[in-house]
Amino acid sequence: MPLFDGLTLGELVLLFGGAAFFIALLVLFVIKATKNQSYKGLLPFFAVPIVMMGFPTITSIKISQDGVDIENQVLALQKDPNDEASRKALESNVKFLQGRPFRDPATIARIAGAQFALGQESQAQQNLQKALQADPKQQVALQLQQRIEVARKLSELTAKAQAQPQSPEVRNQLQQVTTQAKDLKFANPKALQSLQTANKILQPEQAKAQPK
């Protein structure tokens, strides 16, 4: 993640304003020290730029940490979609990150992936498009795009199979996309529901395919 990416304009003003203030105080301190003038009056003022720079720096660290956390939490949900602790933690981190002005396409794509895992599909699509517009070859975004496409196909083919239960072609297509979906390990609630329905529809074929 690029340095300071995700910080708001106000936080950036505090950061760089504090740095400029600190440098100005330091110059005055050096001038007074070299001229053997008293500099004790300047010392309390050094607390001001430290506080100004401290808040956005801590926020930047939290943003970086949350960026790592959402990846781990998405992976945890993909392994166990019923892991409510990971889901709630992911919701909290996404809520903190999603309103921030990120420019890095990889970061935006990771947030989109987390939103998709939580079922926030509209927000996920918006961030996915934003990431791909910034970098059409961004791998995290392309992988998410594939996930969303497989989930869409799974939903459509499940509905088709329910409407046309005797169609071998539809059932064959559903079997193929169900296999893809299982390999991708979805955490998205809608995709999981579609997968569960598809498995029920395909149960006879799956039972036949199992070795005796």
Q: Which of 129, 98, 100, 103 is nearest to 115 (CA)?
A: 98
Give 55-98 pLDDT, tens digit per residue.
767 777 777 776 768 888 999 999 999 999 989 999 999 998 88
Higher-confidence position of 101 and 115: 115
Burial class (CB in 10 A: 0-12, 13-18, 19+), 88: exposed
Structure confidence by residue, pLDDT tens digits, 170-184: 999 999 999 999 999
25-42: average pLDDT: 87
pLDDT at 12 over 70: yes
Q: Please provide the average confidence, as pLDDT, over all residues in the chain.
A: 88
Question: What pLDDT is recorded for position 54?
Answer: 81
Given a cut of 50, whether residue 207 has pLDDT beyond it is no
